Chains A and B, each alone.
Chain A
Amino acid sequence: MELTREDVKKVALLSRLELTEEEIDAQRKPLNDLLKQFEALQRLDVTGIEPTSHSMPVVNVLRDDVETESLSREQVLANAPESRDGCFVVPRIVAD
């Protein structure tokens, strides 16, 4: 199957990317080229094959519940584009 212009727009929205009209057109071909590559996988019989999410499976790694040193609030906020009163500042998300 091939992605239409509308499909690319929808995926961009899901990806939180506000693409320009030119970018939507430019991205369509490489995306479809990749999808075409993926068709090769449909040739394989994978019935009953367990999926591998991690090559070296480790399960539920827990640490002791003890206090350790962590970054200070100032250090954490030092890279924020905008901060105030020890918090990150974001645009208003609730209307008056």
Chain B
Amino acid sequence: MILDAFVQLGQMMVVLALAPLLAGYVRKLKALLLGRKGPPLLQPYRDLLRLLRKEVVLAHSASWLFRVAPYLIFAATWVAAALVPTFATGLLFSYAADMIAIVALLGSARFMLALAGLDVGTSFGGIGSSREMMIASLAEPAMLMVVFTVALLAGSTQLSTIAAFMQGPGVGLRVSLAMALVALVMVALAENARIPVDNPATHLELTMVHEAMILEYSGRHLAMIELASFVKLLLYLSVIGCVFAPWGIAVSGQGLAAYLGGLAAYAGKLAVGGFLLAVFETAIAKMRVFRVSDFLGAALMLGVLATLLLFVSRIA
């Protein structure tokens, strides 16, 4: 119990501490792949600190919602990330939210972000909110279908149980799981505003989505939103790692060595995931915004197909 509480607390701190590093790592890799030197690994931390120290400039038409939203977005994302097993299962509060609830928590964060985009009353904020909700309207059901697939196999929507099941011998190679993995990766790209859906590096481009929503934010508010988006990227990599590569996750009650091993395995997974992301983003071009619906529609169909296969293959 005490140990579980420590693991829970440690996990919350680990995701918060590692998230900017992951973002810096991916940026660095992308720069290297493009033959540039790139910013140092720790640049995101410096950016966050710089933003935190600056004063906030609010538009005249900004309401209280605009000022509250960054903290709520950050809180919802952080709570969601705290409930995904990263280096150890047996989180104290893992029963508070299953995978469906985690998806919905991210939905809450997005809801606030989209509202904040509309709050000042500019055309860029509106364009970002409107496109974000269009993307979400396809990405969220695709994500839920992935959850369905995994949950049907593991007989549970709890991430700890799923991770334990995936480590067990009963899994084997399954077509459904492969489809679910592809769908999940596509959703993760869309949800984190990565290429080919959105470009995290641009700021002045007509196809931008995420950046358009937060255009009016500055100072500490912007820092909270940036941090939330770093945590979200980490969360998706953690979910992929926890469900599809659960090796090395420490189980509750094992010794300190197991936890250290779990941490090392987690760091390795993040390194591999970030590397693949950087390679993928460098290799592919951004698509037109109205092609995104084809991209995510494919993810949704893959998810539905994966679920359907499981329904059909289970003979009562």
Task: Decide if A and B are genuine partners.
Answer: no
